[in-house]
Amino acid sequence: MIQFPNAKINLGLHILRKRADGFHDLETIFYPIALFDTLEFIESNEMKFEMSGIQIPGNMEENIVLKAYHLLKKDYPHLPNIHIHLLKNIPTGAGLGGGSADASFMLMALNKHFQLEITKQKMIEYAAQLGSDCPFFIHNQPCKATSRGEVLEIIQLNLVAYQFVLVNPKIHVNTGWAFAQLTPHQPQKSVFEIIQQPIQTWKEELINDFEKPIFEAHPVLQNIKNTMYQQGAIYASMSGSGSTMFGIFNKDLDKENIKKTFEGMSVYIV
């Protein structure tokens, strides 16, 4: 069975407060993006996991895709061994949710292929055990997210009239460090209010709280954002805690010029 897990971006991100459990309450908009990994499995005599494409640091045996399989295996012990192959195209540790997407798509693929008849709500509960972003990919529609990012509400937001440019400068940002740089606050206007306004107003109001400290530590990210606006972006921002920057452009953008402008970086136009 073959699946194509897609990436997401954050449209605005406010860190509201630190919780008693050590996590943070936040508000953001998750928006799915047409940048894909490829995830395939077949039934096998032995359990096997292989990867190609972008390399993920760490032990392959601890990959979140395998964690998704073993999570269902606990409740559905009749699941057979499978041979999994993951082709990574979505940059890792980049604020695009690639790992979370892979895990959630694995849950959904196992459910469908082996006819487990798990309800959508139960799938969301399984996904939440794997990571805060994972439940979003069960919906895989524009959502406003609260709490740690796992409390979701589907919203009407259609940006198909625009072109997205994603630029990853291959900088690793430690998420724990990034959170430690922030002072939680209650904004005057929520991301949910701003997102309902004309897209031309987003530049001045739709903010990712992580940008200020991360731009100070990595000025190249600020430069990428500024360059996107110079190239005609309607809105540009960092996704999550970075380091991928994205711009929303009109469809008539000069793609070759964009690629030349960000030469040496990973550039995706979707």
Domain ranges of the chain: 2-154, 162-269
Q: Which helix (H) or strand (E) holds 128?
A: helix 120-130
* Residue 189 annotated to the active site: no
182-191 pLDDT per residue, tens? 888 889 999 9
In CATH, what number does 162-269 get?
Answer: 3.30.70.890
- 162-269 and 2-154 share a CATH fold: no
Cα–Cα distance, 103 to 130 (Å, whole number): 8
Say which amino acid occupies 34: A
Residue 212: what pLDDT?
A: 94
Give the pLDDT of residue 170: 86
Q: Does the annotation mark 37 as catalytic?
A: no
- Strand ranges, E, within 48-196: 48-53, 82-88, 143-146, 151-154, 162-168
Catalytic residue chosen out of the listed positions 37, 102, 133, 209? 133
pLDDT in tens, 110-159: 999 999 999 999 999 999 999 989 999 999 999 999 998 889 999 999 99
Strands 6-18 and 48-53: unpaired
**Over residues 193-217, mean pLDDT:** 96
2-154 sits in which CATH class? Answer: alpha beta
What pTM value is reported for the model? 0.94
Give the percent of the chain with pLDDT over 70.
100
Of the residues 8, 88, 144, 225, only one is catalytic, namely 8
Of 233, 206, 210, 235, nearest to 221 by C-alpha is 210
